[in-house]
Amino acid sequence: MKNTTFWAGTSLFNFCIVGLVGVILRSKILFDLPWINYLNLLDAHSHFAFGGWITLALLMLFVRELLPELYRNKSVYQWILGSIFLSSAGTLLTSILGVEVLKDFFSGLFIVTSYVFSWAFIKHIRRAAVTKTVYLLSVSAIVCLILSSLGPITLSCLHALRSVQSVYYRDALYIYLHFQYNGFFTLAVFALLFQKLYPKIQKENQGNFYWFALSLCLSTLPSLFLSFLWQAPNETFRVIAAAGSILVFASVTWFIISSLPVLKLSRFVKGPLRYMILLSIGAFVLKMVLQSLTIFAGVGNAVFGDRPVIIGFLHLVFLGFVSPFILAYYTQERILNVKVKLAIHAQIIFIFFVVCNELALMLQGVGAIFLKSSHWFSWSLWVISIGLLVGIVLTFVAVMKSAQFLKTDEDEQELLIN
């Protein structure tokens, strides 16, 4: 794909902005910053994290890794990625400034762009030489990306109608988060992972991975109803939610069974990159187990009613599962060159503070459940947010150095040829 390094660098630069906004949000909790509107900044933070970092990176990798060269170099994908960046940046700025009309415009542009990408990608992936497992996961991921737009569309309608039904607001938000986190993000990660793994694993294990992928895709829709249990729904909703919980648990079980025979491949991965991959896999397993357990009232009420637990779960997926995978993928594909020592240090710092962040949020959530709190949690999370920002910024700097090294190597090879 053309301009891979540019889009990877852009996505990582956006990740730096996400980290910076996160530090400001944590600072707002501790310090008197009257010129900052916390809710506006929080809205900007979440939208840009989803669009400017994760979605831009995943869609770029989808085009680069899954499509034939004939299609991956089409200019339409360059325009789409540019529109994704523009709409995400526009939403970031207008959310911070509180300009609702422009914010709605850029949000709408992002949704329309995602529809255009979905149409083009599904049309082209049908002609790609990918396995049925990768095809299933990639197309399902794109379908979930489309379905997630129902959340913001519903929220816009509620705003327009001036509805005060908080139930609908929360349900619309959960629809968006579910199809992003448990749908698009998760399925896209495994589509990319299996695209790389399949040539290296035995045929019988490929069958196990297919059944894992199938159960994971099938679980996406019924497990949505787990998000509706907080409002004491009728028995029909509970039955569908129970089916979703069973499918989620079945899929993670299939994943563990399928992964055991191929763990020996991890010996080829050295240094912090190996721990980045293990962090991502561990976060995925934990996320799936917690998601399946929300069928039980005690766990469900904690997840959907305790703010630190909610934030912890969202960060578990965003920082623990998806972001390390993308960073590891960039590294493995030499978009981020592991020969740069700074990249190794950046990975260590990032992994350390991701783990610290989850532990702090978990302890804060447990404290909230037992009606015990401490100001030290806020200070700890503030320090951790700074540590995460340092790790992300160093990663971006390492990518820029990697790009320079790769360009130097290409120039030297060209000189030798001439």
SS3 content of the chain, % helix, strand, coil (to 5): 85, 0, 15
What pLDDT score was predicted for residue 107?
93
Question: Does pTM top 0.85 for this prediction?
Answer: yes
Q: Which residues have a Cβ under 8 Å from the Cβ of 225 and sit 6 or more positions away?
A: 233, 237, 238, 240, 241, 244
What pLDDT score was predicted for residue 387?
95
What pLDDT score was predicted for residue 416?
35
Q: Which residues have a Cβ under 8 Å from the Cβ of 352 and sit 6 or more positions away?
A: 387, 391
28-47 pLDDT, tens digit each: 989 888 888 999 999 999 99
Residue 161, exposed/middle/buried by CB under 10 A (0-12, 13-18, 19+)?
A: exposed
Neighbours of 376 (CB within 10 A): 11
- Provide the CA 377 distance to its chain's centre, in angstroms: 25
What pLDDT score was predicted for residue 86?
96
Helix 307-315 crosses helix 297-305 at what angle (to 10 degrees)? 90
What pLDDT score was predicted for residue 368?
61
361-405 pLDDT, tens digit each: 888 776 665 556 677 888 899 999 999 999 999 988 887 776 554
- State which residues of the chain have pLDDT below 50: 405-406, 408-418
96-148 pLDDT, tens digit each: 998 888 999 999 999 999 999 999 999 999 988 889 999 999 999 999 999 99
What pLDDT score was predicted for residue 415?
37
What pLDDT score was predicted for residue 170?
84
The closest alpha carbon to 373, from 279, 314, 318, 306, belongs to 306
- Give the CA diameter of the chain: 74
What pLDDT score was predicted for residue 408?
47
What pLDDT score was predicted for residue 207?
81
What pLDDT score was predicted for residue 410?
44
